[in-house]
Amino acid sequence: MTKAFDDLDLFVIGGGSGGVRAARIAAGYGAKVMVAEEYRVGGTCVIRGCVPKKLMVYASHVHHEIEDAAGFGWSIPQANFNWSTLIANKDKEIARLEAAYIANLERSGAHLVRTRAVFEDARSLRLSSGELVRPKNILIATGAAPNHGRPIPGIEHVISSNEVFDLKEQPRRILIQGGGYIALEFACIFAGLGSDVTLVYRGDNILRGFDEDVRKHLRREMEKAGINILTERTVTAVERHGGEYIAHLSDGSSVGGDKVMFAIGRHPNVANLGLENAGVDINPNNGGIAVDGHSRSSVPHIYAVGDVTHRVNLTPVAIREGHAFADTVFGNRPTAVDHTNIPTAVFSQPEVGTVGLTEAQARVQYSHVDVYKAEFRPMKATLSGRDTRILMKLIVDGQTDRVLGCHIVGPEAGELIQVIGVAVKLKATKADFDATIAVHPTAAEELVTMRQPFARYVREAAG
């Protein structure tokens, strides 16, 4: 066994955002840390998730800006989009970010090894090299992967969000199955780049779990953009005919295209890690590693953070969990992560930003609920002529005046909800919002100028 493997205080399986943060903080406390990553450092977010996706969102926005320019006096010649250039530039940026992740990790004093690690027992991990390590503490941060659901005929023809970033050519027509944020974001990306997009979802409307007004508003806006949304049906088979794929749907219809993509969920990466050898329990409700409030598994010295626990699958949450783990175990600062009121953005077009409770959730949890809502045409559209509207909604406790939730659909909703998230976390009241002077002219001023409730709900006490 090499010296680098001796007397490890922490062995981290997975070099994504959560694992890297945990390793860096633990090393900063003086721990001897090793990180095992068998693919690329950076995890889902940096390599094949939110970062490359957001770069593609920016690319698709350019199309809208060109269309809007005429109303502001700009005459722009015919513009041409080159998919290969976008993908090449995206790849360069991802490589730069990966290098920065590696440099920061190694600068902290943690040691990176390019290997797979599998449990032989609760204390021992076997590496791809054949070497055995027995660290004092182990952190599992292996993330999650796309899930294609039940097998169907022709499933081998279907791509996931992993492969979509490396397509050699832009599909002229693409069918995407799914109604969550990944499916919607890619539907909007491809539509913005000029592809013909069909979205298929088994539910009655997109974005299950989000506020109902948000779901309705975004669907309406996406359909205005030419995206064909087919709900209450699924893809039952995919056939290849030369360079074309035919997706057969559960209602008997079929849709042709150059690509078929499934974005119907993600499952925790718990397989083939030897967890059963270590006695690590799986949460029967979500399939992730079962952990307590301090990310400790059923085995006292084995922990897990991020998507592999299937708690809240967001990169900033994994980072916070990784940091809290290191503070707890190596910093003598027991820290539990608060998973309530987490601001979330969907980078659809238009964007969605949300924090706190939906209207439906609030009406279940609180007896008095006031709803403030504004829907309006953005100022920019008055000259651009674009047919689009913004939605802003506040959910308020009718008894304490506390703002319980905020939901925005419109430009820069992700940026806005980050700031509003601070106010909701601080338990700001509607009166606090009202007392804040508006910034004019902005869309965001609606958040502090909505004075009259759109609706008030009072639940009668049981007799």
Residues annotated catalytic, as ranges: 440
Q: Is 66 exposed, middle or buried (0-12, 13-18, 19+ CB in 10 A)?
A: middle
Residue 259 near residue 161, CB atoms below 8 Å: no
Phi, psi (5° rounding) for residue 249? Answer: -105, 160
Tokens of 389: 């509207």
Beta bridge partner(s), residue 390: 376
Residue 377 near residue 391, CB atoms below 8 Å: no
Question: 217, 239, 23: which is closest to 111 by C-alpha?
Answer: 23
As a whole number of angstroms, the distance between CA 433 and CA 410 comes to 20
As a whole number of angstroms, the distance between CA 212 and CA 147 comes to 26
Pairing of strands 173-177, 259-262: parallel
Phi, psi (5° rounding) for residue 438? Answer: -70, 150
Tokens of 206: 């997109």
Residue 381 near residue 388, CB atoms below 8 Å: yes
DSSP letters along 50-84, please?
Answer: HHHHHHHHHHHHHHHHHHHHGGGT---PPP---HH
Determine if residue 274 is left, alpha or beta; phi over 0 gives left, psi from -120 to 50 gives alpha, anything else beta. left
> Which residue blocks in 333-435 are alpha helix, DSSP H?
359-365, 381-384, 413-425, 430-435
Beta bridge partner(s), residue 228: 198
Q: Is 113 exposed, middle or buried (0-12, 13-18, 19+ CB in 10 A)?
A: buried
Give the 3-state secondary structure of residue 431. Answer: helix
Helical (H) or strand (E) element with 16: none
Tokens of 97: 């970010």
Pairing of strands 254-257, 244-249: antiparallel
As a whole number of angstroms, the distance between CA 3 and CA 440 comes to 63
As a whole number of angstroms, the distance between CA 403 and CA 298 comes to 37
As a whole number of angstroms, the distance between CA 318 and CA 142 comes to 11
As a whole number of angstroms, the distance between CA 92 and CA 52 comes to 10
